[in-house]
Amino acid sequence: MKRAWAMIVALATLAPGLAPPAKADPAADLKAFQGYFQTRFPTLALQDYVNGPYNFSANDRAQWKQILEFPPYSFAVDAGKTAFGTKFPDGADYASCFPRGGIGIAQDYPKFDEKTGKVVTLGIAVNECRERHGLKPLSLTKGELADIVAYMTSTSDGKPIHVVIPNDKRAIAAYEAGKEYFYSRRGQLNFSCASCHVQAAGKRLRGQYLAPALGITASFPVYRSKWGDVGTLVRRFIGCNKKVRSVPAKPDSAAYRDLAYFLTYMSNGLPIAGPGARS
Amino acid sequence: MKRMALVVAAAVLGLGVAHAAGKVDAARAIAGAAAKMKIAAALDDQWTPAIAAFKAAKAADAAGDYAKAEASAKRAEALAAASIAQARSQKRLWQNAVPR
């Protein structure tokens, strides 16, 4: 009998599909994730990671600093501030939908909504606000919504990212789904998010340095020279998916909500540095 | 003269049969690709080249180029099969990439 049990245990251990899934522990993940980068780049301070690819090339960093003398995202911030302050037809405004009037709260997003059981990014929260007041949702990738989120993010500049994973099975499941998405290879080129932003972080892909995943969300929304305007984190997810020849998910999909949840949580403690500018 | 007419008739009939067979083969290949791509989509791992190949197959089929339609559909099916294999293997393998 003992031998039979030993055989069963041995088989379960050998067959990966039969092994019980590891218990989710976001705090331990965070420690391991940040520790991985700090071991790999020991000269970088934790807060430096928000500078993304500009930690790895003095020349690129100098050019970036020059660009920031006249921040290309400033028009978006101004437009976002105006849109944020404009009253809805029913007399309400965006500020009425958020704690502290929506000022200095970007570091707390994405959030888990216990009522719906879904992750809510700041962009989705802006759209939910619009819908509550009878307005159509905006595109989650660019345009007016990106401007509004850019403005709201600018009011959180320097505040430490503080994403919370509550002790709720659905929140843990969302976090785990985001984690799985981040590390899963997809597309014809067989890349995961981690392929570029963990394993190859700090290395070159053609002429550009790959930003580490740690701190990568801190600068969003971001003005990309390639785009010629400001875009949200979701816009970047879609672009990355297409680059590896994978059909992207929908902007408000659970996949992207959960991915943003996991990825931003991994940067907890780092300062908000958005909106940012990238090549 | 009669013999000549018979040869021509046989040739025309042969071409018609080949044309019909090409159409059937293309339709079968397109259906096969569609089925595989449905599975890939359900696994959230559809590849853009599979979509492009499938669109090319449908366009060629509509234009009556059944050989091209069949070839493109088979390519779409092969790409979809590879994406399914990728998605299923990644269900396990992604954990190997997590920093610990």
Q: For chain B, which residues make up each domain, given as ranges?
A: 2-93
Domains of chain A plus CATH, in order, are 23-279 (1.10.760.10)
**Model confidence over B23-38: pLDDT tens digits?**
999 999 999 999 999 9
Could you say which of A29, A190, A194 has the minimum Cβ distance to residue B97?
Answer: A194
CA B61 to chain CA centroid, Å, is: 10
Higher local confidence (pLDDT), B29 or B6: B29
Tell me if A185 and B93 make a contact (CB, 8 A cut-off). Answer: yes
ipTM over 0.95: no
Tell me if A245 and B90 make a contact (CB, 8 A cut-off). Answer: no
| DSSP letter string, B7-75 | HHHHHHHHHHHHHHHHHHHHHHHHHHHHHHHHHHHHTT--BHHHHHHHHHHHHHHHTT-HHHHHHHHHH
Tell me if B97 and A180 make a contact (CB, 8 A cut-off). Answer: no
Which of A37, A179, A185 best tests the B interface by mutation, with the highest count of B CBs <10 A? A185
Catalytic residue ranges of A = 240
Question: What averages of pLDDT result for each successive group of 10 residues across chain A (279 residues)?
Answer: 46 40 86 97 97 96 96 97 97 97 98 97 98 98 98 98 97 98 98 98 94 98 96 98 98 98 98 95
> Sign (positive/negative) of CA torsion A242, A258, A184, A276?
positive
Could you say which of B46, B86, B94 has the minimum Cβ distance to residue A247?
Answer: B46
Tell me if A32 and B87 make a contact (CB, 8 A cut-off). Answer: no
